[in-house]
Amino acid sequence: MDKKLQIDLQKVPQHVAVIMDGNGRWAKGKGMGRIFGHKNALTAVRETIQSANEIGVKAITLYAFSTENWNRPKLEVNALINLLLTSLKKELPNFQENGVQVKAIGNTNSFPKKFQKVLSEVINATQNNSKITLTFALSYGSREEIVNTIKNISKKVVNNELKIEEIDEKVINNHLYTFNLPEVDLMIRTSGERRVSNFLLWQMAYAELYFTNVLWPDFRKSDFFDAIIEYQNRERRFGKTSEQIETSNE
C-alpha cells in the first residue's frame, strides 16, 4: 500500500527537525572519501523537503552545519560550504515553484562573505513564499543560542525595557533564533545515532524523537513517510494521562 495513504493528513506534525547523519559512513562503505558522501546527500535533502511539503508540514529545519563542524578538516569544511552554496543557488527556482520560504538560524556571519551573500539573496527572494518554511541551521549550536538569548533578554532588563518578573517561557521563545517557528513536533535522526547533539534543545522539549539506521544519502520519501506514520502512532501526552487525552479527543 502507498505509504502516503497511511498518513492522517489531519495529524501531520507542524514542525519537523532533521539531523542528517551518516554521509561519511555511507561514502566509506563505497570505498570513497567523506566529501563524496556529502555530495550524495542532496537527493535526500530534496526528497525530504518535497515529501514534507506534500503532506502539509509547515516547517522543516535541517541541521546542515553545527558549531562543532568547524573542527573538521579544512578541506571538508570548505567542501561542505561550497556544496551548500551551490545547492542554495541551484534549488532557488525549485523553492519558488513550491512555495518554500528559506530561513537560517545560527552564527551565519562566521561563514565566508560569498556564502553569506547567496544565503541572504535566497532568503530575500523566498520571503513571501508561505507553503512551508525551510530553515537551515548553519554554524548552529543550541547552547550557544540559549546563551545568546539570555544576553539579549538581560540587555532589555538592564535598559528597563523588560522587568525580571515578565520573563516567562513566551519571552524566551521570542528571543530564540526560532522565534517565528512553531515548536518542534518530530525530530528525525538518520544513521543509527541516538543523540540530539546540541540541536534545538529548548524547542524539542515535547518532540517525538525518531531514529532510523538509514544513512542520510539513502534517505528517501518512503523513509520520511515511515517517520510520520510512526509519529502518528505515538500518543503525545504532554504530561497528561492517556484517559485525559482520550476525553479531549472525543
Residue among 88, 90, 89, 69 at smallest CA distance from 23: 69
> What is the nearest approach in angstroms of ligand FPP to the Cβ of residue 67?
12
SS3 label, residue 113: helix
**From CA 76, how far away is CA 118, in angstroms rounded?**
20
Contact between 84 and ligand FPP (CB under 6 A)? yes
Question: How many residues of this chain interact with ligand FPP, rule: CB under 6 A?
Answer: 20
Question: For ligand FPP, which stretch binds (CB under 6 A), given 17-25, 153-161, 178-186, 205-213?
Answer: 17-25
94 catalytically annotated: no
Residues in the chain: 250
Please name the helix (run of DSSP H) or strand (run of DSSP E) that holds residue 246, with its range, or none. Answer: helix 242-249
Residue among 191, 224, 212 at smallest CA distance from 27: 191
Among 64, 104, 118, 184, binds ligand FPP (CB under 6 A): 64
In the set 69, 82, 98, 148, the catalytic residue is 69
Contact between 87 and ligand FPP (CB under 6 A)? yes
Which residue's CB atom is positioned nearest to ligand FPP? 24
In the set 21, 23, 107, 185, the catalytic residue is 21
Contact between 21 and ligand FPP (CB under 6 A)? yes
Question: Which of the residues 34 through 53 are near ligand FPP (CB under 6 A)?
Answer: 34, 38, 41-42, 45
226 catalytically annotated: no
**From CA 51, how far away is CA 223, in angstroms rounded?**
10
Let me know: does 176 contact 149? Beta carbons within 8 Å.
yes
**From CA 42, how far away is CA 45, in angstroms rounded?**
5
> What is the nearest approach in angstroms of ligand FPP to the Cβ of residue 44?
7
Residue 144 Cα distances to 45, 94, 155, 168, 199, angstroms: 25, 32, 17, 19, 10
Among 77, 81, 83, 146, binds ligand FPP (CB under 6 A): 83
SS3 label, residue 111: coil
SS3 label, residue 140: strand
Contact between 185 and ligand FPP (CB under 6 A)? no
Q: Which is nearer to ligand FPP, 46 or 236 (CB)?
A: 46
Question: For ligand FPP, which stretch binds (CB under 6 A), given 2-10, 76-84, 158-166, 199-207?
Answer: 76-84
User: What are the residue ranges of helices labelled H in 56-196?
Assistant: 74-97, 113-125, 142-158, 169-175
> What is the nearest approach in angstroms of ligand FPP to the Cβ of residue 79?
9
Among 14, 50, 69, 232, binds ligand FPP (CB under 6 A): 69
**Angle CA 160–166–172, to nearest 5:** 100
Among 7, 15, 17, 22, binds ligand FPP (CB under 6 A): 22
CA 1 to chain centroid: 29
Binding site for ligand FPP (CB under 6 A): 20-25, 34, 38, 41-42, 45, 62, 64, 69, 80, 83-84, 87, 191, 216
Catalytic annotation, residues:
21, 69
